[in-house]
Structure 1
Amino acid sequence: MKFGKFIKRAVVDVVVARNSHQATAEKDEEEFEKLSAVLFLNPEYAKKMGFKEGDVVEVESGGRAVRLKVMYSDTAPDEGAMMPNSIYSNYLSGDNLKMFKATISSSNLRPTSVKEILERFI
């Protein structure tokens, strides 16, 4: 743990980007996770909340949680987040596949793998 680094936490609306920022299953697993295990934040909002590009955050919604890397995007909501349409967003979104409310907090762990999500259903 880094000294001076406070635990950051925010409750936001997460928009699922159905037609943009998508990775395809044709990619190898590592490349797919690199492109899909991300949470897009508006740069100004991210800085205000204390999240830097490349930080790993835990995103929790409806009792389910995954860890994702923060990426900056000017197309993300001003005070919310955006995720690509992927196994990560589908796992978190519940019944509403377009938008959901989630809690974002900093994490010192690596991003969640697809295998980890699939194992939760076995």
Structure 2
Amino acid sequence: MMMRFSKFLKVEADIVVARHALVMDETKSKAEPVIFLHPEFAKRSGVKEGDVVEVEANGRTVKLRAKLSENAPENGGIMPNGIFASYLTGFDGFKRFKANIEVAEGEPTSFEEILEKIKG
């Protein structure tokens, strides 16, 4: 079994938060833990379609399923406006932010896990 080097790679990304309609109905609901990465950014970062990636911003982390989209910024991705983007930005001033992204193990963060983190 070959080990993926990208598993150890953490990259900085520009993240844009978009209204759900702008991600062209590619997600089933606003609560789906997904991030749309530009294909070239994903390739440079060692991220493949369907990978779980850990996104860290402002000292908070979530795991999201990576999907590829030409609509994403060339140096990052798009997150649907919802609980995951709100949590990463502290529920404040979120239209665009910097985040660190790396390939992660396990499943994406659930809506319920975010609620537990918020409750503290």
Please tell me the TM-score bracket, short chain as reference.
0.7 to 0.9
CA–CA distance in structure 2, aligned partners of residues 69 and 9 of structure 1: 16
- Find the aligned partners of 1:45 and 1:54 in 2 and give their Cα distance: 15
Answer yes or no: is the 8 Å Cα contact 1:42–1:74 preserved in 2. yes
Q: What is the rounded CA distance, in whole Å, between the counterparts of 2:23 and 2:62 in structure 1?
A: 18
1:60 aligns with 2:62: no
Verify the 8 A CA contact 1:22 1:85 in the aligned structure 2.
Answer: no
Provide the rounded CA distance (Å) in 2 between the counterparts of 1:62 and 1:86: 17
Q: Percent identity?
A: 45
* TM-score normalized by the length of structure 2: 0.84
For the aligned residues, what is the CA RMSD? 1.9
Q: Which residue number in structure 2 is paired with residue 28 of structure 1? A: none
Q: Which runs of 4+ in 1 moved over 4 A?
A: none
The TM-score, its normalising length taken from structure 1, stands at: 0.83
Q: Distance between the aligned counterparts of 1:80 and 1:62, measured in 2?
A: 17
Listed as ranges, the gaps of 5+ residues in structure 1 are 24-30
Q: What is the match of residue 96 of structure 2?
A: 99
Q: What is the aligned partner in structure 1 of residue 65 from structure 2? A: 69
